[in-house]
Amino acid sequence: MIIHLKRGVDESGLNDLIQSLHAVKVTINEEVVLVAPASLKALPDELEKLTDRYYVMESDIQLASASYHPGRNILMADSEVGRGLSNTAVITGPCSVESKKQIVASAKLVKELGLSILRAGSYKPRTSPYSFQGLGKKGLELLDEMRATYGVKIITEVRDATHVDEVIAVADIIQVGAKAMYDHGILRKCGKTTKPVLIKRGFGTTLQEFVQAAEFVLSGGNSNVLLCERGIRTFETKTRFTLDLCGAAWLKANTNLPVVLDPSHAIGFRYGVPDLALACMAMGVEGLLIEVHPRPDHAMSDAAQQLSHEQFRQLFLQLTNLAKALNRNIF
């Protein structure tokens, strides 16, 4: 249940009740809001006089639910994304920051195409401890430099709680990866910033669990959350993962958060990325995340799936034409 208290009401005596309800108190637009488990179906007597309005919720998808809020708009770079808007953020860059030369080439590509957001990981969550783990702090410094030199916004990921503050300080948009989305320490820290947070769905995560991860950030006080579908594990082994477009449709219909699709990590092979990216754009999602690399075959992570800059230029032309036909703006 989501309970909006009357403005200016004295809630100082409510701590015991909040605790006994297992509710979370959050301030939204200067209103004090209590979010109690969805199993609570009737307003407690003690709250009747203090409550402005309340919402009985079906499940613990609460603050993110379309039945609570029709659609949140989130400022990304200089444009907003949201369900009622026809904007799609095309987010691109290499899987990892590898060197100054490489990331400068990526930043220049973003600028050349009139895009706004450069994406690259510096703390990489790898499946093997023996593969490249990212440049860490040095990579964040390079990304900071790219923002200063090229005026691009930076999205980069948090791998674990050891560097969450560092990433939050540098990033314009914080990415919480598919493996990190269960880390409540990271999610709670992301709830304490106002920067947009893009949460990637774990490959074995149900939609309910995925959106509940977003609830940790929302109930922490940060309403700027984006949901990114990046492929789930199915019985199929020919492709790396399976892009769950049904799931994306469900998220669009049932949540109020912008939906971003990542065809690169889903298929895992560059041959399929353009087709999937166009399908994603045709769905009318709020964001696309596509990995590119100046020399894809030499990439230090996710080499098989990254598009060359030339391949991306071609895809971008098609995306632009499709967006025009759909009356969507790309930025």
Burial status of residue 57 (CB atoms within 10 A of its CB: 0-12, 13-18, 19 or more): buried
Tokens 């930076």 belong to 154
In the complex, the smallest distance separating the C-beta of residue 301 from Mn ion, rounded to whole angstroms, is: 6
Identity of residue 174: I
Q: Does 230 bind ligand PEP (CB under 6 A)?
A: yes
Contact 70, 269 (CB under 8 A): no
Contact pattern for ligand PEP over residues 68 through 87, marking x by CB under 6 A: --------------------
In the complex, the smallest distance separating the C-beta of residue 109 from ligand PEP, rounded to whole angstroms, is: 17
Sites for ligand PEP among residues 102-161 (CB under 6 A):
121, 125
Sites for Mn ion among residues 293-312 (CB under 5 A):
302
Instruction: Give bridge partners of residue 295 from the DSSP assignment.
Output: none
Which of 153/328 has CB closer to ligand PEP?
153
Euclidean distance between CA atoms 287 and 89, whole angstroms = 4
Q: Does 1 bind ligand PEP (CB under 6 A)?
A: no
25: which residues sit within 8 A by CB, 6+ positions away?
Answer: 11, 18, 32, 33, 34
Which of 230/252 has CB closer to ligand PEP?
230
In the complex, the smallest distance separating the C-beta of residue 125 from ligand PEP, rounded to whole angstroms, is: 6
286 touches which of Mn ion, ligand PEP, none (CB within 5 to 8 A by kind)? none
Out of 5, 36, 64, 95, name the contact with Mn ion by CB under 5 A. 95
In the complex, the smallest distance separating the C-beta of residue 95 from ligand PEP, rounded to whole angstroms, is: 5
Euclidean distance between CA atoms 208 and 227, whole angstroms = 12
Strand order through the sheet with 31-35: 24-28, 31-35, 2-5, 51-55
153 touches which of Mn ion, ligand PEP, none (CB within 5 to 8 A by kind)? none
Q: Does 95 bind ligand PEP (CB under 6 A)?
A: yes
What is the DSSP code string of 179-196? TGGG-HHHHHHHTT--S-
* Cα-only R_g, the chain: 20
Q: Does 200 bind ligand PEP (CB under 6 A)?
A: yes
Sites for ligand PEP among residues 265-304 (CB under 6 A):
265
Tokens 């469900």 belong to 250
Q: Which residues are near Mn ion by CB under 5 A?
A: 95, 302
**Residues forming the site for ligand PEP (CB under 6 A):** 95, 121, 125, 177-179, 200, 230, 265
